[in-house]
Structure 1
Amino acid sequence: LGINYILGVDGISLFLVLLTTFLGPIVILASWENIKDRAVTYLFLMLLLETGMLGVFLALDLVLFYIFWELTLIPMYFIIGIWGGPRRVYAAIKFFIYTMAGSALMLVAILVLRYYSGTFDLTYILEHTRLDYYVQWWLFLAFALAFAIKVPVFPFHTWLPDAHVEAPTAGSVILAGILLKMGTYGFIRFALPLFPRAATTFANLFIALAVIGILYGGLVALRQKDFKKLVAYSSVAHLGFVMLGIFAMTPQGMSGAVLQMINHGLSTGALFLLVGMLYDRRHSRMLEDFGGVWAVMPIYGVFLLITSMSSAGLPGLNGFVGEFTILVGTFWRSKIAAALAAVGVIIAAWYLLHAFREVMQGPLDKPENKKLTDLTKREILILVPITIMFFIIGLFPNLFFDRINPTVMETHKYVIQHAAPPIQIPGAEQ
C-alpha cells in the first residue's frame, strides 16, 4: 500500500509535542480527586489520547497522520460521554459527528493525492508532485474542511461550547489545550505546502472568517453567564488569531501563529483548570453565584488574575508576544484585518476582567461562598508550572522564536514560490 511509519519533528511541531507532554501529567494530576468511577479506563483513554495527539504532530506520512487524527476522536468521545456533565451524550455525539464528517473528505483527498503522486510520503510529495490548479482547489477544500471543523473556524464552531461545557475538567483542558491545535497545525503542515496555489486563492476568505471568529467569539463570551462557556467561546476568538496569522502568509504572521498555539494551550488550559477547581468546591459555574471570593480564596485569586491577564495579552506575559507578532504579520497583508483583530484584543480583556470581577471582587454576601476553601497543595502544584511558562514565554520569546522561525521561513518560502502568480510581501525578503 505504500504506507510508511515516518515520524519527524521540526520548529513547527517541536513545541506542540512539548505542550502535549507538558499538559498530560498536569491533567492526570488534576483528575486525581474527581475521577473515582472507572479510573483505570479513564487513565487508559487519557494515554491513548496523548498517543494520538503526539502522532498527529509527528507523522510525515499522510495515512499515518490520518490514523492518528482519527485515533484522538475515540478516547475524547468516551471521556466526554462517560465522565461528562448532564448533557454529555449529546455533546459527545455532536463532537464525534462533526469531526468525522470533516475527516471523511480528508481521507478521500489523501487517496487522490496518492493517485497523482504515487506515495503517501509528505516530503516526497512536496519535492516531486506538482498538481493542476483545479485539483489543488478541490483537495485544499477537503483538507481545509477537516481542519476548520477541528480548529473550529467560525461557522463550524457550534460543537465546541457543548463539548467544553459537558466535558470533565481534564477533558476540557486537553480539548482546548491540544486537540484544537491539530486543526491549525494541519493548515501549516499540510494544507498550505501541499496546495499553495489554492491556499493563496482562499487566503482572503480565511482571513475574513478568522476576523469574524475573533469578534464573534469575543462578543458571545461577553454575554455568557456560565464561566466555562465564557472560556469556551474565548477559544473561538483566540484560535481566530492563529488562523489570521497562518493565512496572512507572512513569516511574522506564521511564526506568531505557531507561538500563539502554545500560548492558547497554556492560558486556556489553566483557565479551564481554575474553573474546574471553583466548580469542585461550589458545584456551580454561574458567574452570578459568586462575588467577593478573593476574601476566602486569595491564592486562587492570584492565579486567576495572572491567567486572565495572560489570556488577554498583557505585555510581559505569553499572550502578548503571540498576538503582537500575528498583528504585525497581518498588517503587511491587510491593514483592515489587523485593525479589526486588534479590537478583538480589547474585547478579550473586557470579558476576562468582567468574569474576574464577578467572581473575585465585590461583597462576599452569599453564605455558600463564605465556606469556600483556598487551593490545596495538589492544586497549587498543578498551576505553578503553567504560570512559570507564562512568564518564560512572555519575557524570553526568542527562546521559542529561534526554533520556530527557520522552519516557518522555509515553509513560507516554499508556499510563496509555488503559489503562481507570485505575490510580493514587504518584509519577506529580510
Structure 2
Amino acid sequence: MSIPLLSLIVFVPVAGAAVLVFMRSDDAVRWTALGFGIVDLALCIVMLAGFDTTTHEMQFVESRPWVAALGIAYALGVDGISALFLFLTALLGLISVLASWVAIDRKVKEFMVSLLVMQALMLGVFCALDLFLFYVFWEAMLIPMYLIIGVWGGEGRVYAAFKFFLYTLAGSILFLIGVIVLYFQGGETFDILALTAQDLPFGVQSWLFFAFLVAFAVKVPMVPVHTWLPDAHVQAPTAGSIILAGVLLKMGAYGFLRFSLPMFPLASDFFAPFVFTLSVIAIIYTSLVAMMQTDIKKLIAYSSVAHMGYVTMGTFAANVQGVQGAIFQMLSHGIVSGALFLCVGVVYDRLHTREIAAYGGLVNNMPKYAVAFMVFTMANVGLPGTSGFVGEVLTLVGAFRANTWVALFATSGVILSAAYALWLYRRVIFGALEKESLKALLDLSPREKLILYPLVILTIFFGVYPAPVFDATAASVDLLVNNYAAALQAAQDVALSVQ
C-alpha cells in the first residue's frame, strides 16, 4: 500500500500527545485526546477491513533502513497473530480516555500525554518486525506506565510504581543480552522473519529461551514474578488498570508466540513441562489467593494472573487448539478484565473505597450497573455464551492433547474462578440496600453507558460467534504449529540417524 497505515496507527497517538502539550484548557485536552483516540481506532478498523485472512504472510509491511551499519530497520507489519491486538489496544486506549474524564482532575494534560504515548508504544510492540525496534518499544513503554501509576495512583503509588519498574526492567536486562546474542547467532540481523528462519543449535536455543522467558514471564505475569501486579492494579487509576490488564499483560504472551515458539522450538518443547507447571500453579494458587481478598481491585488482579495461566498453558501446548485458544483468551481477557476494572472505577468514583464490605444491595438503585457487572462476571467465570468460555475451553482442549494431567489440574481453576467471582458479585450487588452511604448512589451516567455497553456487546458477540477471530488467526496459527512440529521432527530424525 502507498499509505503507511501501520505507521499512522502507531504515531497518531504521538501526534495527539504533541498537540496536547500546547493546550491549557483541561476540557480541550480531554476532547482532543478523545478525538485522536477515535481516529486511531478508525485506522485499526480500516486495517482489519483490508486484512487478508487467507494468508499467513505479513501484511501492510513497511520497511526502511534506520541504523544501516548495524542492520537495524524501521520495519512494521502484521499477521493473524498480531492484527487483532492493534484493535484491542486502540479500543482500550479510547476507553481509558473516557474512563479518565472525571476521575483525573489534576495534571490532566500530563496524564493524557502519558496515556497517548503509552498507547503508541504498545501498538509498536505488536507490529514491529525488527527485533531492535521491538525492544525499543518494549522498554520505552515502562516510562509512561510508571508515571501513570506513580503520579496519579493511590496512597501507595510510589512503592507500586517502583516495584513495577524494577521487576520489568530486571527481566528486560536478560532480554537485551538475549537480543544481542541472537543478533550474532542469527547472521547479524535484527529482522524477526529472518531470525525465525534460522536453525539454531539446542544449546543456544535453551540459553536464549531462558533469557526471553524471564522478560516475558514478568510481563504476563507468571508465578513467582507476579507480585508486582496486585500492587500496581490497586494503586493505579482506573485507566492504568485497564491498560495493565487489557494490553500490557498480553505483550508477554505475545512474545512467546512471536519469539519463543517459532525461534526456539527445541527449547520450547524441552521447557514446556516447566511452563505447564508454572501455569497450573498460577491458575490454582492465585485463584485461592483471590478468594481471600477484601479489596475488589486486588481480587480482580489475582484473577488476571490466574486467567493468564490458561494463556501460557495453551501457548506451550503448541497445537492448533491450544494456540488458538490462547490468542482468543488474550483478546477476551483484555475486554473482560478491562471492563471489570471499569466497573470498579464506576463505584469507586462515587464512594471512594474499594473494600468489598462497604458495598451490598446495589441492584436496588443501580440495576443497569448490576446487569453490566453480571455479564463481565459471567465471562470471567467462563459461562457458555460469553467470550471467556471459548478461550478457556480451547486452551484446556489443547492442554489435554499435550498432557492430560496438566488439563486435569487446570480445570479446577474453572471451579475456583466461579467461587471468587460469584462471591464478589453477591457481596457487592445483591442483598438489602442498608448502608446509608449507598442509598444516594446513582446508576450509570451516559458517559459510563457509552464505555460499558460496547464491551458488553463484544463480550456476548464473541461468545456466541467467535468465528471472526478464528478466521483472522487461522493461517498464521497453522504456520506456527506446523513449523514447530517440523522442527521437532527434524531434530528427532537427526538424533535417530546419529544412533
Name which of structure 1's ranges 63-72 and 361-370 shifts more when overlaid on structure 2. Answer: 361-370
Partner of 1:2: 71
- Residue 356 (structure 2) pairs with residue 312 (structure 1): no
Partner amino acid, structure 2, of 1:123: L
CA deviation after TM superposition for structure 1 residue 363, in Å = 1.8
Partner amino acid, structure 2, of 1:119: T
Partner amino acid, structure 1, of 2:196: L
- Residue 403 (structure 2) pairs with residue 334 (structure 1): yes
Matched residues in 1 for 2:355 and 2:337: separation?
18
Matches within 5 A, 1:165-204: 165-204=234-273
Partner amino acid, structure 2, of 1:321: V
Contact preservation (8 Å) 1:416, 1:422 = no
Matches within 5 A, 1:298-309: 298-309=367-378
Matched residues in 1 for 2:402 and 2:209: separation?
21
Partner amino acid, structure 2, of 1:414: N
Partner of 1:124: 194
Name which of structure 1's ranges 328-337 and 82-91 shifts more when overlaid on structure 2. Answer: 328-337
Give the TM-score normalised by the residue count of structure 2.
0.84
Partner amino acid, structure 1, of 2:76: L
Structure 2 gaps, min length 5: 1-69, 494-499
SS of equivalent residue, structure 1 residue 285: coil
Partner of 2:5: none
CA deviation after TM superposition for structure 1 residue 419, in Å = 2.7
Matched residues in 1 for 2:390 and 2:481: separation?
20
254, 260, 280: which one pairs with 2:323?
254
Partner of 2:484: 415
Map Cα deviations across residues 116-170 of structure 1 (whole Å, 9 max, x no partner).
121000111222x221211111111000100001000011101000000000000
CA deviation after TM superposition for structure 1 residue 422, in Å = 5.9
Per the alignment, do residues 382 and 423 of structure 1 end up closer, same or farther by CA in structure 2, a change over 3 Å counting? farther
SS of equivalent residue, structure 1 residue 7: strand
Matched residues in 1 for 2:139 and 2:488: separation?
30
SS of equivalent residue, structure 1 residue 372: coil
Map Cα deviations across residues 156-193 of structure 1 (whole Å, 9 max, x no partner).
10100000000000000000000000000000001111
Partner of 1:27: 96
Aligned length: 423
Matches within 5 A, 1:47-126: 47-117=116-186, 118-126=188-196
Contact preservation (8 Å) 2:196, 2:259 = no
CA deviation after TM superposition for structure 1 residue 420, in Å = 5.3
Partner amino acid, structure 1, of 2:145: M
Contact preservation (8 Å) 1:281, 1:372 = yes
Give the TM-score normalised by the residue count of structure 1.
0.97
Partner amino acid, structure 1, of 2:441: L
Per the alignment, do residues 67 and 139 of structure 1 end up closer, same or farther by CA in structure 2, a change over 3 Å counting? same
Contact preservation (8 Å) 1:197, 1:420 = no
Matched residues in 2 for 1:423 and 1:82: separation?
54
Map Cα deviations across residues 344-375 of structure 1 (whole Å, 9 max, x no partner).
01111111110000001112111111111111
185, 207, 219: which one pairs with 1:150?
219
Matched residues in 2 for 1:355 and 1:184: separation?
28
Matched residues in 2 for 1:17 and 1:112: separation?
29
Map Cα deviations across residues 281-309 of structure 1 (whole Å, 9 max, x no partner).
11111111111111111111011101100
Contact preservation (8 Å) 2:367, 2:443 = yes
- Residue 419 (structure 2) pairs with residue 350 (structure 1): yes
CA deviation after TM superposition for structure 1 residue 336, in Å = 1.2
Partner amino acid, structure 2, of 1:298: P
Matched residues in 1 for 2:491 and 2:340: separation?
42
- Residue 354 (structure 2) pairs with residue 285 (structure 1): yes
Contact preservation (8 Å) 2:175, 2:211 = yes
Partner amino acid, structure 1, of 2:474: N
SS of equivalent residue, structure 1 residue 247: helix
SS of equivalent residue, structure 1 residue 32: helix
Partner amino acid, structure 2, of 1:121: D
Matched residues in 2 for 1:294 and 1:41: separation?
37
Contact preservation (8 Å) 1:136, 1:195 = yes
Partner amino acid, structure 2, of 1:390: T
Partner amino acid, structure 2, of 1:100: L
CA deviation after TM superposition for structure 1 residue 421, in Å = 6.5
Contact preservation (8 Å) 1:221, 1:229 = yes
Matches within 5 A, 1:199-278: 199-278=268-347
- Residue 478 (structure 2) pairs with residue 396 (structure 1): no
Matched residues in 2 for 1:200 and 1:25: separation?
39
Partner of 1:427: none
Contact preservation (8 Å) 1:150, 1:182 = yes
448, 451, 461: which one pairs with 1:382?
451
SS of equivalent residue, structure 1 residue 362: coil
Matched residues in 2 for 1:414 and 1:120: separation?
20
Root-mean-square deviation (CA, aligned residues, Å) is 1.2
Name which of structure 1's ranges 413-422 and 42-51 shifts more when overlaid on structure 2. Answer: 413-422
Matched residues in 2 for 1:296 and 1:394: separation?
29
Rg larger in structure: 2
Partner amino acid, structure 1, of 2:77: G
Matched residues in 1 for 2:366 and 2:185: separation?
61
